[in-house]
A and B are shown apart, each in its own frame.
Chain A
């Protein structure tokens, strides 16, 4: 059962990923990316990461994607012009991507799996265990992310202010 779910979700994710790079209209790319996000969230559930699953749905498929949709609605649906001006770019990028995939493949072959730590799997990845991790051992990084979000919010407000609105 889990294997079937994995392959369905993986196929969805790859199909969505191809859609992201193949659709000419940005709107359709964003919607394909939503498909990828949801497929990945199913995979997170298979990996018993309940909290990451919820965060993926709310933060990514919800907030970030809606942000992209708003920006597309703001800028208008611009279709992409067919060709770029760099003549060798498609070939060079194909070569580069093949090399990168070969590298990743070779790395996957060489992965040495360490012995699992035998955690209590009944509470693995629940909100409670994640919260304990975030608020005890990783309190500093967690607080730093709030500063990061604050900086990003201030930056976005500064960048999107109107011209001559320097009060």
Chain B
């Protein structure tokens, strides 16, 4: 029941979901393991993309366009997030070097 037709051959929605899960996990590993704040932002983009893939896959499976509209919205949010995050990073780097996210611990109190 979870297959759909794509140009004559049957694709399975669960393949897309599994791929999205793998990409999301890779992004999570990056956020947890990498130390450069810039790379952490890149990994967050990867996770957002994985979520987008699930939205579009379910949209095709249910033949309902709302998933694609939602994916477009989340693309906008991702773009806004990248802009603000990078601006904050540039501002931090202007005052000092922060090659390690653990250097940025002033808010700890």
> Which residue numbers of A lie inside 8 Å of B, CB to CB?
1-3, 6, 10, 13-14, 17-18, 20-21, 26, 29-30, 33, 36-37, 40, 43-44, 46-49, 51-52, 55-56, 59-60, 63-64, 67-68, 71-72, 74-75, 78, 80-81, 84-86, 89-90, 93, 96-97, 100-101, 104-105, 108, 111, 113-114, 116-119, 121, 124-125, 129-130, 133-134, 138, 141-142, 145, 148-149, 151-153, 155-156, 159-160
Q: Are A113 and B42 in contact (CB under 8 A)?
A: no
Main secondary structure on chain A at its contact with chain B? helix
A152 touches B83 (CB 8 A): yes
CB distance from A59 to the nearest CB of B (A): 6
Q: Which residue from B13, B24, B26, B79 sits with its C-beta under 8 Å from A149? A: B79
Residues of A contacting B99 in the complex (Cβ-Cβ under 8 angstroms) = 78, 80-81
Question: Which DSSP category, helix, strand, loop or mixed, fits chain B's interface?
Answer: helix
B25 near A67 with CB under 8 A, answer no
- Give the residue name and chain of the A residue nearest to B60 (CB): A47
Nearest Cβ on chain B to A49's Cβ, whole angstroms: 5
Q: Which of B22-50 contact A (CB under 8 A)?
A: 22-30, 32-36, 38-39, 41-43, 45-46, 49
Interface size on B, residues (CB 8 A): 76
Q: B56, A20: Cβ atoms under 8 Å?
A: no
Q: Which residues of A contact B102 (CB under 8 A)?
A: 84-86
Contact of A33 with B46 at beta-carbon distance under 8 Å, contacts A21-B26, A71-B86, A116-B63 already known: yes
A37 to B24, CA, bound (A): 13
A21 to B11, CA, bound (A): 29
State in angstroms the CA–CA spacing of A46 and B4 once bound together.
Answer: 10
Closest B residue by C-beta to A22 = B30
Chain B neighbourhood of A64, CB < 8 A: 45, 78-79, 82
